[in-house]
Amino acid sequence: MKVGVVGAGLMGSAAARHLAKAGVDVTLIGPAEPENKRTHQGTFGSHYDEGRITRHNAVDPFWVEVSKASIARYGEIETESGISFFSETGALMAGSDTWIAQIDKAAQMHGVESHMLDAGGLSETFPYFAFDPGFSGAYERRRAGHVSPRRLVAAQQAAAFKHGAKPVVTEVRHVSEARVRTSDGLLEFDHVLVAAGGWTDAILGRDPQLDVYARTVAFFEVDAAEAERLKTMPSLVYEAPEDPYLLPPILYPDGKTYLKLGGDPEDVRLDGPGAVGDWFRGGGSADVRDRLEEMIRALMPSLRIESVSMDACVTSWTTSRLPEIRALSDRLVVCTGGNGAGAKCSDELGRRGAALILENLGDTE
């Protein structure tokens, strides 16, 4: 039995690893990262970056559950691949007492080791943050921090190929049941899993079911001395209308160190692959970048910023705000919809998609 996995990003690469480890003849299909995003005319992914928050805590217990399962396998993935992608810097969530109480409830439900901090505890533990005086916090010291999504994908793929998966580096145009039309021709399988993020609806040729939103992230360059001053800084999510998230200083491939802040003031929907491609090529919104700079200067008034830049990203949302992982037929499975929270738990989401394929294989053998 031959299985094709369409989408070589976070969920697809994870699914391919789990299928290959189960002994399945699996082919992972997707394009390489563009050399120049500003001129690239094909498909884009949202994992071309070095920083995504990883943590167990969340308001919704579902995300705690899948994050816990994924984080538990980080070491396994790093060992199998020989590629490191996880930095244990800790993770903090800060907000109103009501919001933090919801997080604490979900944490207790799943046995998450989390330290609760009142306003004084936040100020004492993290003096470089200037939180609202009414904020409290939930702080994970261990098995939390950030991952490099780019390196996580590379690690998943390296492990998958080690277990026998085969790569086909190409653009996918359309999937119908177990037939995959690529820019290079037609591939046929016994079963197909589609994990194509914001491109999923177009590849399946179905009416739009995902809301794909434009996102701008801002990068704040710091020098070596500032990075050293902030070496204990955790990743951060804090309560505000923009749903902001902040990454601590991370060394990027250009040799510079950046803090990254995301949090759009409004949801701008991108309708179709053409709009998504235009957004990635455009590199983000200058207005949002400027708003993010105002936010980080208010949050970290002592931060010494060398330069400010930005980039474009997208998030894919389902109506339920939970991932779409289901069989569309006895030969076709879809695994998509990270809902802005999928990177840290992508291994478990991919595993669940792979499990549906394995169930179908069991029914046909």
Report DSSP letters for 168-200, one per residue. EES-EEEEETTEEEETTEEEE-SEEEE--GGGH
Rounded to an integer, the average pLDDT of 341-365 is 88
Spatial contact of 159 and 105, defined as CB atoms under 8 Å apart = no
pLDDT, tens digit, for every residue of 19-45?
A: 999 999 999 999 999 989 899 998 998
Pairing of strands 166-169, 25-30: parallel
- 232: which 2 tokens? 């204990």
pLDDT digits (tens, 9 = 90+) for 70-128: 999 999 999 999 999 999 999 999 999 999 999 999 999 889 999 999 999 999 999 99
Across the strands, what pairs with 312? 216
- Helix (H/G/I), strand (E/B), else coil: 54: strand
Over the stretch 159-201, which tens digit does the pLDDT of each residue have?
A: 999 999 999 999 999 999 999 999 999 999 999 999 999 999 9
Q: Under a CB-based contact definition with an 8 Å cutoff, are residues 138 and 55 in contact?
A: no
pLDDT level of residue 268 (50, 70, 90 thresholds): very high
Region 273-294: what's the mean pLDDT?
Answer: 96
Tokens representing 92? 């903090």
Average model confidence (pLDDT) across the chain:
95
Q: Is residue 332 within 8 Å of residue 303, measured between CB atoms?
A: no
Residue 75's H or E segment, with its range, is helix 74-81
- pLDDT above 50: residue 58: yes
Lowest mean pLDDT among 24-28, 130-134, 323-327, 358-362: 358-362
Please check whether residue 352 is in contact with residue 325, taking contact to mean a CB–CB distance below 8 angstroms. yes
Provide CB contacts within 8 A for 66, sequence distance 6+.
Answer: 345, 348, 349, 352
> Would residue 145 be called left, alpha or beta, if left means φ above 0 and alpha means ψ between -120 and 50 degrees?
left
DSSP characters over 282-293: HT--HHHHHHHH
When pLDDT is cut at 50, 70 and 90, the band that residue 360 belongs to is confident
Tokens standing for residue 361 = 């294989």
Mean pLDDT throughout 3-20?
Answer: 98
Q: Of 201, 205, 169, 161, give the one whose Cα is nearest residue 187.
A: 169
| For residue 363, pLDDT beyond 60 | no
Q: Structure pTM?
A: 0.95
- Is the pLDDT at 364 greater than 70? The verdict is no
* Residue linked to tokens 């999510």: 237
The neighbouring-strand residues paired with 309 are 219
Residue 207 makes CB contacts below 8 A (sequence gap 6+) with: 201
Tell whether the model's pLDDT for residue 365 goes beyond 70.
no
pLDDT over 70, % of the chain? 99
Sorted by sequence, the CB contacts under 8 Å of residue 280 that are 6+ apart come out as 37, 40, 44, 312, 314
Calpha distance 183→29 (Å, rounded): 11
Question: What letters, b where the CB count within 10 A reaches 16 and e where it falls short, cover 214-247?
Answer: bbbbbbbbbeeebbebbeebbbbbbbeebebbbb
Q: What is the pLDDT of residue 303?
A: 98
Spatial separation of the C-alpha atoms in residues 110 and 78, rounded to whole Å: 24
Mean pLDDT of 349-365: 84
> Amino acid letter at 173?
R
Buried b (16+ CB within 10 A) or exposed e, 66-82: bbbbbbebbeebbebbe
- Summarize the confidence of residues 323-347 as an average pLDDT: 96
